[in-house]
Structure 1
């Protein structure tokens, strides 16, 4: 097949979860002898028109100086370009700023959309934006031929609200197998003597609730906060908890080996994401042998099951910090690693996408053949 992938800032990944997924999937599809093109922002660091056999199509993206409005323009440019190509199938990752142009998607291509999270439920957005995002979600459902849900929660949401079926395919990760204590020296840490979180510092990731629980716990272990805090909300958090010496704001860290080692050697790892599907950072924590305490919702529980602790408020966080140690809960850790190796493993995930693509393409070919015969 000739497959196009839109909805990301491009590959190789320099940004986030969708970009990482697009990179893994596109490269694997090429290895499986498909022809694949991925759309990249015009100013993406990778300026070549090829990456590991994947064709790169650069489109103008004014997002760096126009913000959200620029993303609408970038998505428009990608979709207009896609109309000039003969893609058998287009994989659309997310809908936030591209479903506005859904009616422009090429009618000859099969449109498969990964619906991401329930974006309009995120508390970080003001009511007007939430209303728009709810409409955008509906437009994406209407203009797509097939939907992919990356969590059971998203699948139930799509079925309940739109009576639309979707294929459940989560994100993937790998089991981290080469820990090195030396990575802790930079931060003056000792193995299993610190707790942590990794997240974008925004309100719907429960950062404030977690840190309030940390501030009220009877433990003096360092608590690492990894995420860019040079934002309005990030600066608010830094100022609010500046008197607590054990709370350490480390900023954004993008070295995967360093992140994996910090997770691997931590005592407790907190995952506060309230809305969304299969969050990539959660899978990475599972694969890094972290003992996880997650926000109690269907998205997190459908992945972790009984192999984690859960919280709903700062009191729960305090209780967990005061009560549990990683060394006493290795069964949780080992079971989550096994899930990464057997369920949420990147090669398995990419093969599920290929299987879906081949299935929907064969159905279209069969339909066209019947129409010609008749």
Structure 2
């Protein structure tokens, strides 16, 4: 079988790549021949977790924000058509344009649709239209659909008239790791933590305003950056310069350091507001991070009743909820236990990989096959508020 639509294996870029790091060896262990398509220069040959049974192939494409997914998806699909695997797991509904090629070659397609890309603020009007059209093609031509949240599945049922399987992301149990030497100054101190790319839809502007109030009494650790500089990077740098309780770490590539921060955080703020199941939130849960989350249908679905608070994207609401949690050690201990229990029960990689193996082994979904030919053309999505889907935002 082939896996199309990620940057490669093993790669640590994002949620898709994290899933494939676990899934590809699982499928190889079950006796499948697994080929993961990727991009040049994205794979780590020295990774100790590399499973040599997984075949890795790179294809060419255009490395640009607007064209990379489409072009690398096309060249990977063309190579798969030539090699004729029995099935293809396709990541991202933008690759829906190429599903007719797989169907013509007799290759069964299972598509993880990802979130609602056409709703994300980072894309311009043309890119959003392309993503929406790719979603329509996915609804029409995919043999099986995978959604990483129930809210996403319900959206596709309403908008495109198709359904499929809900398979969330998983996480790994890590116990309690010691803080790194660079973060040793936080030992024994209650601190607030945020981990996110610096884009407005991750509630970073609002959190930075809230951080000024939080840092009057407590430590605040900010992990992330825009990746290219800009207003938000300048703002957090200035805040860290003015207030010694604010620590900006930028992008943290050391997984063990990040996991330890989640393990020791007294309050983790999760401001992501695009669907569906967020991999960072799931891993934070496995680390036992007491969490204040932005109030979205997705965050409520994942945390259920283990969230400390669900708040509006308003600085005062964020600051109040985070400070209340930082001041309550007993509540922190209770939430750590409960959030870990939920992660172990619902969001494990063993369960996720088994569900993917089942989806890849099933014959084409009769529900999706029967309904896709009647799927409506892309709509404006103007009724998303009534449907409980938050407005344009990014994971």
Contact 1:26 1:36 in 2 (8 A): yes
The answer on whether the counterparts of 2:5 and 2:38 sit within 8 Å (CA) in structure 1 is no
Q: Deviations over 1:331-369 (max 9, x none)?
A: 222122112222211111101111222222799xxxxxx
Any conservation in 1 of the 2:89–2:360 contact (CA below 8 Å)? no
Counterpart residue number, 2:152: 154
CA contact (8 A) 1:191 1:266 kept: no
SS in structure 1 opposite 2:217? coil
Match of 1:337 among 327, 337, 340: 340
CA distance in 2, matches of 1:340, 1:317: 24
- The residue number in structure 1 matching 2:107 is 109
Q: Alpha-carbon deviation of 1:141?
A: 1.7
- 1:206 corresponds in structure 2 to 203
* Aligned with residue 354 of structure 1, among 353, 357, 362: 357
Instruction: Name the residue aligned to 1:24.
Output: 22
Q: Could you tell me which residue of structure 1 aligns to residue 169 of structure 2?
A: 171
Alignment-derived partner of residue 187 in structure 2: 190
C-alpha separation between the residues in 2 aligned to 1:184 and 1:100? Answer: 48
C-alpha contact (below 8 Å) 1:286/1:337 kept by paired residues: yes
**More moved, 190-199 vs 80-89:** 190-199
Alignment partner, residue 123 of structure 1: 121
Spell out, residue by residue over 1:118-155, the C-alpha distance to the aligned partner (whole angstroms, 9 max, x if none). Answer: 11112222334323322222222222111101011111
For residues 1-374 of structure 1, the aligned pairs below 5 Å read 3-46=1-44, 51-63=51-63, 66-96=64-94, 98-107=95-104, 108-181=106-179, 183=180, 185-186=182-183, 188-217=185-214, 219-231=216-228, 232-238=230-236, 241=239, 243-308=242-307, 309-312=309-312, 313-325=314-326, 327-329=329-331, 330-360=333-363
- Is the alpha carbon distance of 1:110 and 1:10 closer, same or farther for their aligned partners in structure 2, counting shifts above 3 Å? same
Aligned equivalents of 2:265 and 2:181: distance in 1?
10
Could you give the per-residue CA deviations for residues 149-200 of structure 1, whole angstroms, max 9, x where no partner exists?
Answer: 101111111111112111011111122214214x155462123421111111
Give the gaps of 5 or more residues in structure 1. 364-374
Q: Secondary structure at the match of 2:306?
A: coil
Deviations 1:190-246 (A, max 9, x none): 234211111111111111111112223474322111113442354353366454443
Larger displacement relative to structure 2 (223-232 or 105-114): 223-232
231-240 or 141-150: which moved more?
231-240
Distance of aligned partners of 1:192 and 1:127 in 2 relative to their CA distance in 1, 3 Å threshold? farther
Measure, in 2, the Cα distance between the counterparts of 1:156 and 1:223. Answer: 37
Distance 1:260 1:43 in 2: 26
Partner deviation per Cα, 1:16-39 (whole Å, 9 max, x = no partner) = 111110121010011111111110
SS of 1:200 mapped into structure 2? coil
SS at match of 2:363: helix
Give the paired residue count: 356
SS of aligned partner of 1:23: helix
Structure 2 counterpart SS, 1:305: helix
How large is the Cα RMSD of the aligned pairs?
2.2
How far apart, CA to CA, are the structure 1 residues paired with 2:103 and 2:176? 46
| Alignment partners' CA distance in 1, 2:363 and 2:231 | 44
CA contact (8 A) 1:184 1:190 kept: no
User: Displacement, 1:89?
Assistant: 1.0
The change in CA–CA distance for 1:223 and 1:115 in structure 2 (over 3 A counts) is same
3-state SS of the aligned residue for 2:3? strand
Residue segments in structure 2 that go unaligned for 5+ positions in a row: 367-395
